[in-house]
């Protein structure tokens, strides 16, 4: 057997987390033209005749990774992954035009119809939970179940926490994040970063993006994780994620602020499971509690030894257990 160091970093990460299914490759990939500007990368993995499930990545802007295929039994599921507008392998990367939750929900529908799928299970974490909830509320008849992680409802209190509140727990990381901005602009960090991320100075935009993404990613795991940090070594990836996140924080706000909670009535009949890390400081566990209060039928779990990332073993264990329950009973709920 080869030594661990001889494996691709992705394979090392999968083997280190025993709850993941083994790595797989897509059996089909494509680009979907959704408007005059945007073309979305998509792929299908697993069983072409299997139970359809769509994976919704976070960020916004992060795109899908090879790990994201490994939450599902490839013998049972027809696994659909795609990179949202401006993200990952979709084109153009980092583009903010026509980029909102409504656009993404419409893209999901166009992809579903293109692939000839009538209904599917919806699986999403972090911002993927946001768009998963929004999509289900727009198209409940298309959703067989929801599996959610690290709930993010895009409310003003959550954005304020991300920009300022995290300093109560990670003051050193916050000092680096805020310290990139001149002292006289730190009263509005979002606007200060937005100005740099969308300005004409490309080098300054890349520097701002690096500070933004390192701040977030370093907060994603309970313990420092170099493998996870390495995902954002590519300047273009950091640039796209930072631009899109700042865009959504600043420009794409639910109206009203509590929209995703107010519309839960539309989806209460859909079997749904959500897991949150107890020590998630990117998306506070209060978000899950608030959602569960609005949605009594939602089955929840709080992982006592996890932060935000889906790579945290406690989170992965709960997510894979939920997809196994779909295999066994058709529902992610126990």
**Residue pointed to by tokens 């600043």:** 250
How far, in Å, CA of 159 to CA of 188, rounded? 12
DSSP assigned state of 82: E
Secondary structure E strands in 97-151? 120-125, 143-149
DSSP assigned state of 21: P
In which order are the strands placed within the sheet that holds 28-33? 28-33, 39-46, 77-82, 51-56, 120-125, 143-149, 272-277, 299-303
Q: Is 280 a catalytic residue?
A: yes
Phi-psi region of 251 (alpha: psi -120 to 50; beta: other; left: phi over 0): alpha
Which of 308, 309, 310, 311 is labelled catalytic? 308
Which of 68, 95, 280, 290 is labelled catalytic? 280
Q: Is 262 a catalytic residue?
A: no
Q: What are phi and psi of 226, to 5 degrees?
A: -65, -35
Q: Is 308 a catalytic residue?
A: yes
Which of 87, 126, 129, 238 is labelled catalytic? 126
Q: Work out the angle at residue 263's Cα, subtended by the Cα atoms of residues 257 and 266, and round it to the nearest 5 degrees.
A: 165
Q: Minimal CA–CA distance to 40: which of 80, 79, 91?
A: 91
Catalytic positions are: 126, 280, 308
């Amino acid at each position: 057997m080869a030594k661990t160091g001889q494996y691709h970093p992705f394979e090392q990460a999968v083997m280190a987390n025993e709850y993941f299914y083994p790595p797989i490759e897509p059996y089909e990939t494509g680009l979907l033209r959704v408007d005059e500007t945007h073309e979305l990368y998509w792929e299908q993995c697993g069983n072409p005749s299997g139970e359809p499930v769509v994976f919704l990545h976070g960020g916004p802007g992060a795109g899908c990774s090879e790990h994201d295929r490994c939450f599902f039994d490839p013998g049972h599921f027809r696994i659909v992954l795609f990179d949202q507008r401006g993200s990952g392998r979709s084109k153009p990367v980092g583009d903010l035009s026509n980029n909102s939750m409504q656009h993404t929900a419409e893209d999901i529908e166009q992809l579903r119809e293109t692939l000839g799928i009538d209904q599917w299970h919806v699986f999403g974490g972090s911002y993927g939970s946001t768009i998963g909830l929004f999509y289900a509320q727009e198209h409940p008849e298309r959703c067989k179940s929801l599996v959610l992680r690290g709930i993010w409802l895009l409310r003003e209190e959550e954005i304020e926490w991300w920009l300022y509140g995290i300093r109560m727990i990670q003051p050193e990381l916050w000092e680096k994040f805020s310290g990139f901005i001149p002292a006289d602009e730190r009263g509005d960090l979002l606007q200060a970063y937005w100005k740099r991320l969308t300005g004409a100075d490309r080098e300054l935009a890349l520097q701002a993006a690096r500070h933004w993404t390192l701040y977030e990613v370093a907060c994603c795991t309970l313990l420092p994780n170099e493998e996870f940090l390495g995902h954002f070594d590519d300047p273009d990836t950091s640039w796209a994620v930072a631009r899109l996140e700042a865009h959504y924080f600043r420009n794409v706000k639910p109206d009203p602020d509590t929209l995703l909670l107010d519309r839960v009535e539309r989806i209460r009949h859909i079997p749904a499971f959500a897991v949150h890390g107890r020590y998630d400081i990117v998306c506070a566990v209060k978000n899950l509690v608030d959602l569960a209060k609005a949605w009594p039928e939602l089955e929840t779990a709080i992982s006592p030894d996890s932060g935000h990332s889906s790579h945290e073993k406690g989170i992965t264990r709960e997510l894979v257990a939920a997809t196994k329950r779909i295999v066994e009973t058709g529902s992610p709920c126990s």
